[in-house]
Amino acid sequence: MQIPFLSQLQTLTGPPVNKIVGVASAGPARLAAEQILQHVLHGLPELLAAAVGQIASGQLLASYTTSRDFNPAKIIGFNAEVIRQQRQAMQALHLPPDEQLTELLITLRTQLHLLRLLPDGQRFLYVAVDCRDTNLGIAREVMRTCET
């Protein structure tokens, strides 16, 4: 049963846990982002967090997290900036035009953070996993299959 007051109170304590949340206005972009996250969650049930964001604006479209301490809405803009900066670095290298940025991997002591550009080149998928629970190859393959 949905009680509006309790739902509003819960949003003040942090992001909803273990639930895919569409943040963007209702429409095809939000629906597509939610479907991508459902696919990721099906393939990586042990993930810590996942989100779909827009590269140009850093806007969050949809997110999922397993912990209130891990808030994808706060970090999606920073991840979008990482992608924009990497694209600029690639331009500075004067790489051939057919070279495209597809994925970035950030390794921490206990976590892996993966950023994968979606086929439209305007959005990206962000996934955070515990490296003790998740194989990097499997995580990358699950993210790659979200493109279809």
Each domain of the chain, given as residue ranges in start order, spans: 17-145
CATH T-level fold of 17-145: Beta-Lactamase (3.30.450)
Taking a C-beta distance cutoff of 8 angstroms, is the pair 124, 58 a contact? no
Tell me the mean pLDDT in the region 97-117. Answer: 94
Residue in this structure with the two tokens 């959005």, named with its chain if needed: 123
Map residue 100 onto helix, strand or coil: coil
Q: Give the separation between CA 108 and CA 91, rounded to whole angstroms.
A: 27
Tell me the mean pLDDT in the region 24-28. Answer: 77
Residue 107 has pLDDT above 70, yes or no: yes
Torsion of CA 3, 22, 110, 140, to 10 degrees: 150
Torsion sign (Cα): 142, 144, 147, 148? negative
Residue in this structure with the two tokens 């493109």, named with its chain if needed: 147
pLDDT at 29: 86
pLDDT at 18: 80
